[in-house]
Structure 1
């Protein structure tokens, strides 16, 4: 996925991601939300309230600024707009945020297990993840605690809820979200086999240097 250079391009990419996310079972119905901005911009586009991610159209996006004000597009943003806004404020390098409800990531975390990074792709794209305790949907507490974790991590598990994944562009944010869920699925399978220790044997940087 090439980097978008216009707001219209961002919307097109987010629409594609939404469709894929639903097809792969990462979200159901109107669960999950997506956003993106052009590098350096103080405004971002976010899916509007009640939108189904596999049925997105240009009118299903709200334009907001980093002060949390609606400045264009659909007048009613997603109830999770604060999650996106607060994260962008602490991560000026992030230009896309994918919020999904992946089943294995939520389950493994809810059962009190660490999501283990087992493959090179997990190590390279996820690297590490943060987590928050459960907070109500759309709350300041959820947005603020997730943003605090995003200072150090590109992926954040939201307990009993879902995850958020960041990237310098839409493609990277979604790639990280998919790898987090794949790592959680692999961890779940390992736990079924009785394994509680196996993980990627070295750091991602070391693996790349010796490739």
Structure 2
């Protein structure tokens, strides 16, 4: 299948390698997407695709209702998660959905992920969450999209997280910084620290994009 949006596909292929190399996903444990410029359709990884070895045939182009326009006939079972979030966030042009161990663990333990560094504050800003819902379900897609209206990073309980961005690079940066924030939070808690965080009054001075 020849895609007309090879640059976006190349960006998603590179992002897939990064999320596996950085431990945010194992094998096919996650899915990536990008909005097709000037349309309401989007490119998403196919079902079962290994994120660290993606090729152009591992992508589907879907309309907003999930109809396959081109590419693989078997899009990710999580396509609704992407479609609903794009509808909720017209400013988002890419979504990274992965299964980061530390972020999911802290959420399952009921521990709030603290933003500690400047990068955490700038890229993550705030974290939304949903209860556990089966993957691919309307409930998961709907509640995640509702959270995405207010947050660029949304944790799905006992499952994974989605990060949104104006482009693939920003969505990926947010995923990486969310997991790093979770890791530092875990280490702080292990040391008995329950308060350390980025200064609240400093958030106002950040130029967010």
SS of the equivalent of 1:68 reads: coil
SS of the equivalent of 2:200 reads: coil
Deviation string 1:139-164 (CA, Å, 9 cap, x unpaired) is 11100000000011000001111100
Residue 123 of structure 1 and its aligned partner are, at CA, apart by: 0.6
Q: Separation in 2 of the partners of 1:35 and 1:153? A: 18
Map of 1:142 onto structure 2: 140
Query: Please, which moves more after superposition, 112-121 or 64-73?
Result: 64-73
Residues 84-103 of structure 1 correspond to what in structure 2 (within 5 A)?
84-103=82-101
Residue 38 of structure 1 and its aligned partner are, at CA, apart by: 3.4
Q: Is 2:45 the partner of 1:53?
A: no
Cα distance change, pair 206–151 in 1 and its aligned pair in 2 (3 A) = closer
Contact 2:36 2:43 survives alignment (8 Å): no
Q: Separation in 2 of the partners of 1:203 and 1:21? A: 32
Residue 69 of structure 1 and its aligned partner are, at CA, apart by: 1.2
Residue 31 (structure 1) aligned to one of 29, 42, 45: 29
Contact 1:99 1:164 survives alignment (8 Å): yes
Map of 1:191 onto structure 2: 189
Residue 205 of structure 1 and its aligned partner are, at CA, apart by: 4.2
SS of the equivalent of 2:204 reads: helix
SS of the equivalent of 1:199 reads: coil
Q: Name stretches of at least 5 consecutive residues in structure 1 with no aligned partner.
A: 1-5
Residues 143-162 of structure 1 correspond to what in structure 2 (within 5 A)?
143-162=141-160
Q: Name stretches of at least 5 consecutive residues in structure 2 with no aligned partner.
A: none
Q: Separation in 1 of the partners of 2:73 and 2:86? A: 20
Q: Given the two structures, how large is their TM-score scaled by the length of structure 1?
A: 0.93
Deviation string 1:22-78 (CA, Å, 9 cap, x unpaired) is 111110121000000234321110000000001100000000011221111000100
Structure 1 residue ranges, 4+ long, deviating more than 6 angstroms after superposition: none
Q: Is 2:38 the partner of 1:40?
A: yes
Contact 2:20 2:52 survives alignment (8 Å): yes
SS of the equivalent of 2:186 reads: helix
Contact 2:42 2:61 survives alignment (8 Å): yes
SS of the equivalent of 2:28 reads: coil
Q: Separation in 2 of the partners of 1:92 and 1:18? A: 23
Aligned alpha-carbon RMSD (Å): 1.2
Map of 2:63 onto structure 1: 65
Q: Separation in 2 of the partners of 1:128 and 1:180? A: 9
Residue 202 of structure 1 and its aligned partner are, at CA, apart by: 2.8
Map of 1:19 onto structure 2: 17
Cα distance change, pair 203–78 in 1 and its aligned pair in 2 (3 A) = farther
Q: Separation in 2 of the partners of 1:59 and 1:139? A: 25
Residue 81 (structure 2) aligned to one of 66, 80, 83: 83
